[in-house]
Chain A
Amino acid sequence: MPIYAPTLPPAPDLTLGQPPALVLMRFDFTRLWRQKIGRFFGFTFLLLLLWKVARIYLDHLLHTNQALKPMQDFAKTILTQGAAFQADLLNPASYLLWFLVALVGGGLVARDTLYRVRPLMYAHPVTPRDYLLAKLGFASLLPFLILLPFALLPWLMSLLLAGAQGPVWVTAPLRLLPAMAISSVLMGSLAVGASSMAATPRAGVGWVLGLVLGASTLASMIHGLAGLPAVDALNPILLAETWPQLLVGVERPLVAWLPAVLGTAFHIGLWTWVAARRTRPSEAVI
Chain B
Amino acid sequence: MLSLDRASLRYGPILGLSPTSFELPGGGGITGLLGPNGAGKSSLLQLVSGLLPPSGGAVRVFGEAPFRNPAVLARVGLVPEGDRLPTGLRADRWLRMMGELSGLSGEGLKAAMARALQTVGMADRSHLTFARMSKGMRQRMRLSQALLHEPELLILDEPFNGLDPEARLTLMALLRDLAEKGTRILVSSHILGEIAQLTDRILLLFRGRLLAEGTVTEIRQLLDRHPVELRLTGEAQVLARWAVEQPELAALRMEEEAVVLSVRSPRDFLPRLQQAAAEGAIPLRALDPLDLNLDAVFQYLTKDHA
A-side residues, CB < 8 A to B, are 1-9, 11-18, 20, 23-24, 27, 30-31, 111, 114-117, 119-127, 281-282, 284-286
User: Which residue on A lies nearest to B24, using beta carbons?
Assistant: A2
Q: Mark B80-119, 1 if CB is under 8 A from A, else 0.
A: 1110111001000100011011111110110010000000
Could you list some 6 contacts between A and B, CB below 8 A?
A2-B179, A3-B176, A5-B182, A17-B109, A27-B97, A286-B81
Max count, chain B CB within 10 A of own CB: residue among A9, A111, A122: A122
CA distance A7 to B199 in the complex (A): 20
**Does the CB pair A286–B51 fall under 8 Å?**
yes
Residues of A near B176 (CB, < 8 A) are 3
Query: Which A residues are in CB contact (< 8 Å) with B77?
Result: 123
Q: Could you tell me the distance in whole angstroms from the C-beta of A2 to the nearest C-beta in chain B? A: 3
Cβ distance B98 to chain A, nearest Cβ, rounded Å: 7
Contacting pair A23 B101 (CB below 8 A):
yes
Distance between A113 CB and nearest chain B CB, rounded to angstroms: 10
The reply on B228 being an interface residue by CB < 8 A is no
Report chain B residues within 8 Å CB of A8: 28, 150, 152, 181-183
CB distance from A221 to the nearest CB of B (A): 37
Chain B residues contacting A4 (CB-CB under 8 Å) are: 25, 27-29
What chain B residues lie within 8 Å of A285 (beta carbons)? 42, 46
B84/A12 in contact, CB under 8 A? no
Residues of B within 8 Å of A123, CB to CB, are 49-51, 73, 76-78, 80
Expressed in whole angstroms, the Cα–Cα distance for A148 and B272 within the complex equals 89
Contact B104 A12 (CB under 8 A): yes
Contact A125 B27 (CB under 8 A): no
Whether the Cβ atoms of A125 and B101 lie closer than 8 Å is: yes
Q: How far is the CB of B94 from chain A (nearest CB, A)?
A: 9
> Cα distance A286–B28 when bound, in Å?
24
Q: Which residues of B contact A9 (CB under 8 A)?
A: 150, 181-182
Question: Which of A6, A11, A30 is close to B75, meaning CB atoms less than 8 Å apart?
Answer: A11
Specify which of A3, A116, A121 is in contact with B82 (CB 8 Å cutoff). Answer: A116
Q: Which A residues are in CB contact (< 8 Å) with B106?
A: 16
Q: How far is the CA of A195 from the CA of B98 in the complex (A)?
A: 22
Please state if B80 and A13 are interface contacts (CB–CB under 8 Å).
Answer: no
CA distance A127 to B50 in the complex (A): 10
Measured between alpha carbons, how far is A17 from B74 in the docked complex, in Å? 12
Residue numbers in B under 8 Å from A126 (CB-CB): 101
Given known A16-B106, A18-B105, contact A116–B78 (CB-CB < 8 A): no
Range class of the B interface residue count: 35 or more
Chain B contacts of A116 at CB under 8 A? 80, 82, 84
| Pair B182/A12 contact, Cβ less than 8 Å | no
Q: Mark B13-46, 1 if CB is under 8 A from A, else 0.
A: 0000000000001011111000000000010011
Q: Is B292 interfacial (CB 8 A cutoff)?
A: no
In B131-187, the 8 Å CB interface with A consists of 145, 149-150, 152, 157, 176, 179-183
The interface residues of chain A lying within 8 Å CB-to-CB of B201 are: 1-2
Q: Is the Cβ of B29 less than 8 Å from the Cβ of A3?
A: yes
Which B-chain residue is minimally distant from A118 (CB atoms)?
B51
A4–B180 CA distance with the chains assembled, in angstroms: 7
Residues of A within 8 A of B93 (CB): 30
* Residues on B with beta carbons closer than 8 Å to the beta carbon of A124: 73, 98, 101-102
Q: Find out whether the CB atom of A11 lies under 8 angstroms from the CB atom of B150.
A: yes
In the complex, A122 Cα to B179 Cα: how many Å? 24
One digit per residue, 1 when the CB lies within 8 angstroms of any chain A CB and 0 when it does not, for chain B 47-81 equals: 00111100000000000000110100111111011
The answer on a CB contact under 8 Å between A2 and B200 is yes
Query: For the complex, what is the distance from the CA of A121 to the CA of B97, rounded to whole Å?
Result: 10
- Please give the distance in Å from A114's CB to the nearest CB on chain B: 7
Q: How far is the CA of A5 from the CA of B30 in the complex (A)?
A: 11
Contacts of A14 in B (CB 8 A): 74, 102-104, 149
Q: Distance in Å from the Cβ of A11 to the closest Cβ of chain B?
A: 5
Which residues of A have CB within 8 Å of B221? none
Within the complex, the shortest CB–CB distance from B111 to chain A, in Å, comes to 8
In the docked arrangement, what's the CA distance between A123 and B30, Å? 20
Residue B233 lies at the interface, judged by CB distance under 8 Å to chain A: no
Which residues of chain B are near A24, meaning CB under 8 Å? 97, 101
Chain A residues near B302: list those with CB within 8 A: none
Query: Which of chain A's residues have a CB closer than 8 A to the CB of B150?
Result: 8-9, 11-12
Residues in B neighbouring A6, C-beta threshold 8 A: 27, 182
Which single residue of chain A is at the shortest CB-CB distance from B84? A115
B215 close to A (CB within 8 Å): yes
Knowing A17-B104, A125-B73 touch, does A286 contact B182 (C-beta < 8 A)? no
Chain B: CB-nearest residue to A201: B86
B103 touches A15 (CB 8 A): yes
A116 to B74, CA, bound (A): 20
B103 adjacent to A119 (CB under 8 Å):
no
Determine how close the nearest CB of chain A comes to the CB of B204; give it in whole angstroms: 16
* Measured CA separation A180–B68 after assembly (Å): 34
Find the B residue at minimum CB distance from A112: B86
